[in-house]
Amino acid sequence: MSGDLLAGRLIVVVGAGGVGKTTLAAALALGSAREGRRTLVMTFDPSLRLKDALGVGEAAKDEPIRVMEAGSGFLDAALLDAKHTFDRLIRTYAPDAAATRRIFSNRFYQDMAGNLAGILEYMAMERLFEMRASERYDRIILDTPPTRQAMDFLQAPERMMNLVDSKAIRFAMDPWWDGKGEKNLAFRLAARGVMELSDRIIGRRFLLDVVEFIRAFAPLFDGFRSRAGEVRNLLKAEETRFLLVAGPGPDRVPDAMFFLRKLEETGHHLGPVLVNQVHPDPGPGSGGDPGLVLLRFLANRDRRGLGLLRSLFPDGRCILPVALEPRPPADLRTLGLLYERLSSTAGE
């Protein structure tokens, strides 16, 4: 029953892009609130339709917004935004106002820091840490970033710890750099070729902005390393469950298998596999109707995919098909109906 779907205090909904993770995460969160849990759903850039369904807007980027209350339970929603979270971290953890101003005034931070590869995943990790540590919620449901590489979020803690200890950071922190962020080339002639080459390839000013950005961030590195380690432990804790959302059809099975094996290899705890957007069989009808012919083809394709996936797990892993909706949920009522169908399928 729903206990299988909502088994953890932290539920991380994962999978490739375009499989409906965000909608399913919202439906599960609504179900959790209805069962009396103080619940938060954190999601990335949901569609306008889903924003309307949850009743959230741009304001939800800073703090969770109350969506509904049900007895002792309630549902809050937050839209994860890398730049907002990055700014908040700096204000919270910078040692003083001068350090905060130094970072915010850096051109590299202003132009690029919110869009760098990996920043989205790391900021999701940071925001998760903040919300979990607040003890405001009995359950948090996290919709992971819509990246092409679905493992990026899981690797974010390790990447941050490696980055803080990397050669690039040590280079930027080297005392060769004077207070203005310029290299004292008179004493380091060997570095001249490096600077000239970097000037031709990426631009001297850009390199100096990056170095200044790293140096300005130095007081925060220990905190980043510590929190990254705590999030890594949280993601592998007994109270955390990963729900994999997969697309239907035999061609989507390799992606699902890859992700499941990676989760198991890295020591994460798995919940059910939700095979979403499965085409229902239209049943008997006019064999020449093009629409029915197409629907039968898609339904047979999806049935083969489900059968293949189940055959690969003789241990009886819970694999739940979720039927394709004629109209995606557009309000709390239809999200609630989706949760009821999920619960019913899980209980069969």
Q: Is residue 190 part of a domain?
A: no
Q: In this predicted structure, what is the pLDDT of residue 108?
A: 72
Between vectors from CA 38 to CA 37 and to CA 42, what angle results, nearest 5°?
Answer: 115
Distance CA(341)–CA(336), nearest Å, equals 9
pLDDT per residue as tens digits for the range 330-339: 889 999 999 9
Residues with Cβ < 8 Å from 190, sequence gap 6 or more? none
Q: Is residue 176 part of a domain?
A: no
Q: In this predicted structure, what is the pLDDT of residue 147?
A: 59
Q: In this predicted structure, what is the pLDDT of residue 149?
A: 55
Nearest-CA neighbor of 56 among 73, 82, 78, 85?
78
Q: In this predicted structure, what is the pLDDT of residue 180?
A: 47
Q: In this predicted structure, what is the pLDDT of residue 19?
A: 86
Residues with Cβ < 8 Å from 152, sequence gap 6 or more? 118, 121, 145
Residues with Cβ < 8 Å from 243, sequence gap 6 or more? 5, 11, 12, 13, 14, 24, 28, 271, 272, 273, 274
Distance CA(190)–CA(213), nearest Å, equals 24
- Quickly list DSSP for 17-43: TTS-HHHHHHHHHHHHHHTT-EEEEEE
Q: In this predicted structure, what is the pLDDT of residue 130?
A: 86
Q: Is residue 266 part of a domain?
A: yes
Q: Is residue 193 part of a domain?
A: no
Q: In this predicted structure, what is the pLDDT of residue 300?
A: 92
Q: In this predicted structure, what is the pLDDT of residue 284?
A: 72
Q: How far apart are the first and last CA of the chain?
A: 8
Q: In this predicted structure, what is the pLDDT of residue 186?
A: 40
Q: Is residue 256 part of a domain?
A: yes
Q: Is residue 183 part of a domain?
A: no
Per the structure, the complete domain to which residue 60 belongs is given by 2-85+114-164+222-347
Q: Is the pTM of this model over 0.85?
A: no
Distance CA(87)–CA(104), nearest Å, equals 8
- The CATH number assigned to the domain holding 62 equals 3.40.50.300
Say how many domains are in the chain.
Answer: 1
Nearest-CA neighbor of 55 among 338, 332, 339?
332
Helical residues (DSSP H) of 114-191, grouped into ranges: 119-134, 152-164, 167-172
The parts of the chain modelled with pLDDT lower than 50 are 1-3, 177, 179-190, 192, 195, 197-202
Q: In this predicted structure, what is the pLDDT of residue 185?
A: 40
The token pair that represents 118 in the structure block: 């990996």
